[in-house]
Amino acid sequence: MGILRLVHMWVLSLREDMDLTKANRAITSAWVSAVISGVLTAVASLFGILGLDRWSFIDAALILGLGFGIYKKNRGTAITLLLYWIVAKTVQFVQSPSAAMLPLAFVFGYYFFLGIRGTFAFHRISRFQAKLVKSTEGWE
């Protein structure tokens, strides 16, 4: 069983309390967090803050691109963003351990996780509503 299937099963187990409004709110939280993270990374790279160099622009572009995928309600990009975030922050922490970066990394990670939950719930609810509309079309 692949990692994506395990993540899918885990997300499905956490989605019971999501309606369409909550799903859209979670998706919005995730893509806005990605924009904030991408812009902060780009600015820090531009001015050399926190030891970030010009190569961090690639990191910022990747985060912004994945954030756009979440904005478009793509489940794959939501999962990819969280996995990328975990790997990137782990590598960053190993290279220069700093407990100061951990709270912010966990906050962004939480919102990226909400994006996964929101995209999966959105597609589940949309699929259900489409089936409901299709099944009631001839009842007039």
The contacts of residue 88 (CB under 8 Å, 6+ apart) are: 59
pLDDT truncated to tens, each residue of the chain (140 aa)? 566 666 666 666 565 678 888 999 999 999 999 999 999 988 888 877 766 677 788 899 999 999 999 999 999 999 999 999 999 989 888 887 777 778 889 999 999 999 999 999 998 888 777 666 666 666 55
For residue 41, the model assigns a pLDDT of 87
Burial of 69 (C-beta count, 10 Å sphere; 0-12/13-18/19+): buried
Burial of 40 (C-beta count, 10 Å sphere; 0-12/13-18/19+): middle
The model carries a pTM of 0.79
